[in-house]
Every structure is written in C-alpha cells, then in structure tokens.
Chains A and B, each alone.
Chain A
Amino acid sequence: MAAKRKIPIKTRNPDLIRGVGKYSRSKMYHKRGLWAIKAKNGGVFPRHDPQAKTPAVAEKPPKFYPADNVKKPLLNKRKPKPTKLRASITPGTVLILLAGRFMGKRVVFLKQLTSGLLLVTGPFKINGVPLRRVNQSYAIATSTKIDISEVNVDKFDDKYFTKEVVKKKKKNEGEFFEAEKEDKRKLPEDKKEDQKVVDASLLKSIENVPDLKAYLAARFSLKSGMKPHELVF
C-alpha cells in the first residue's frame, strides 16, 4: 500500500451535497494530475512490486510446556496518586495521635514526606515523642498552630527512617547455647543530635505561648460528656 501521509490533504473535490461532488471523474483525473504521473512514467501508472519479504526467523519450540493453562494476570499500568494532605494540616499544626505507642499525645507537625506520611516531633523534651513518621488517618488536626519558620527539616525524608539492615551471622552449635549477646539496637548519636537541633528552635516558639508547653505535655482523652462529633478541635 502507499505510505500514509503525515498531514491529511484537503480533497480537491468539494461536496455539493453529501454524496455528490462538484467535479466529475474525468475532471478529477485532470485535477489530480494523474496524466502527469503517467507521462513521467512512460504512459502507464507506476507500479511498485511487493518487496521481497525477509524470511521470518524460525521460532524455537519452548523448553517447557506447563501442565495446566496458567492464566496471566491482566496488565495494570496504574500509578498511585500522591497522598493528599488535609487542608487543616499545615506546618506547625498541633496534631493529636490516635493510635500506637503515643496514643493521645499532642504533637507538632513538621512536613509531609514523599511517601505521604507526616513527619512529626513531640518535641522530645516535652512529651517524649521523637522525630517520627505518622499516618494522616491516625491524627486529628487541631486548630492550634505553632510558628515553625525557624526549623529546618530539609534533611529528613523516608530514607532517614528506614530500619538498619543487620547482617545475620551464621550461628554454630556453641553459640546457640551461649547467652544472647545481642545488645539492644541503640539510637545513633547523630539522630539524637538531629532531634536536639529541631527541638531547640521549636521550644523557643512554644515557650512564647503561655500554657502551650503543659498542653503538649498532657495527653488527650475523651472525658464523660464529650461528644466527638460536636467537639471543635
């Protein structure tokens, strides 16, 4: 077949009505210049013989035929969208953690990491919550905001929080009976330093607001008569 043109050409034969062109077949023959093509080719229309096909590569028979027909799962090219941060959560917001070790603790939000989790800190000195990642769904955002402009959180990302890979040593018989010599995994000094640096600037902003330090030190709990759907956070 003739090669496809990149730009579709306008027809030289405008429609009078749908199905009826303005020019007859002989007029169109002249308009399209088929006479010129024939003249160039010695009175006949140029003919392109089909190109010699390259012989198809012989397919090797497969080494293994599975006993049953195994269904292939359908192709899924969907990519998950980046987690949307709730409008009520902005840097410096006080969040209430709802689950986990620090359930009920009031905590300061620093930034959202690329994985979608929220980077959060106690500050550690006030309520014992370190630099930590927290899922948005397990946090209530209060309307209390703290000035967080002095804090630099650029160096924290998801890689900072991955577990250290400990190479497992092969135990011989003798070592099995020895007491477990594994010492507890201690927090490296530089992470402690990072915590101190972040908290230092935060503590200054916190101490400027009266009662805020005691507020962050206290845990939240539902008391008698509190209706969560009526509470303003």
Chain B
Amino acid sequence: MYPFKRYVEIGRVALVNYGKDYGKLVVIVDVVDQNRALVDAPDMVRSQMNFKRLTLTDIKIDINRVPKKKTLIDPMEKACVKNKWENSSWGRKLIVQKRQASLNDFGRFKLMLAKIKKAGMVRQELAKLKKEIAA
C-alpha cells in the first residue's frame, strides 16, 4: 500500500545502530534539519544524531516538542517503552544475540547439545505425523 510505515516524528522511539551509543533506545525529540534529529533517552545527555545512525521502531510515545527530562521520562514509563521493546520479536532477538555472544566455551557446547536435542524431538514428531498421513 503505502511504501513507509514508520515515520520520523516527535516521540518516535529509535534504535541507535552506530557510534558510542550503539544499541540504545532513544526518543526523537526534535528535528534539526533534513539529516539530523535531536534525540534523548533517560540515561543519556540530549544530543543530535544523524538519521543514518538511527533505525526507527514501531514504538511511539506522546510528547511535545523538546520536553524537559522529567516530562520525557513519565510518558515513557506510562507507555512501557522498555517492556514493549523487550516483548517485541526484534527486541527479543537482540537480547538473545547479546546473551549468546557472552557464552563461554562450555556454554556454547551445552547450547549445541540443546539444539541437537530439540531438532531430534521435532524430527520425531514430524515422522509420527508423516506416518499418520501415510496410514
């Protein structure tokens, strides 16, 4: 239908994909010009960022242009931005990625065993279903 679904607007939550704040969730608080936005988060100093450093998410909160820090944090809490993010499939994937990257060698071995076990169980069930269909 329409080519774009996520728009740059005041209150749009974005993920930083490059630079010092890599991986942080930030809120677009104002637009500086065609390329840059003023961006803020509860745990960082409000700063400008190029749009190329941001990836827009589906989450949007209701704020006015350039709110004070406190007036920013309250709607964020109300909209449970953090919860929404951690329950979204994108957010869950990032959490799993981080956890897997921090696994030690023994952890990776156990993960491999678990994957093999799970695949074995899936294959067994599939074989059962195939047998039923054939019968």
Contacts and interface: CB of A to CB of B under 8 A. Distances in A.
Interface residues of A, number: 16
Contacts of A28: none
Nearest to A209: B106
Q: Is the interface of A mostly helix, strand, loop or mixed?
A: mixed
A215 to B, nearest CB: 5
A142 B106 contact: yes
Contacts of A214: 109, 113
B109 A211 contact: yes
A233 interface: yes
A232 B109 contact: no
Interface string A61-96: 000000000000000000000000000000000101
B123 interface: no
A78 B124 CA distance: 68
A109 to B, nearest CB: 14
B106 A232 contact: no
Contacts of B109: 211, 214-215, 218
Interface of A: 94, 96, 106, 142-144, 211-212, 214-215, 218, 220, 230-233
26 contacts: A94-B105, A94-B106, A96-B105, A106-B105, A142-B105, A142-B106, A143-B104, A143-B105, A143-B106, A144-B104, A144-B105, A144-B106, A211-B106, A211-B109, A211-B113, A212-B106, A214-B109, A215-B106, A215-B110, A220-B105, A230-B101, A231-B105, A232-B103, A232-B104, A233-B104, A233-B105
Given A94-B106, A215-B110, A232-B104, 14 more contacts: A94-B105, A142-B105, A142-B106, A144-B104, A211-B109, A211-B110, A212-B106, A214-B109, A214-B113, A215-B106, A220-B105, A232-B101, A232-B103, A233-B104
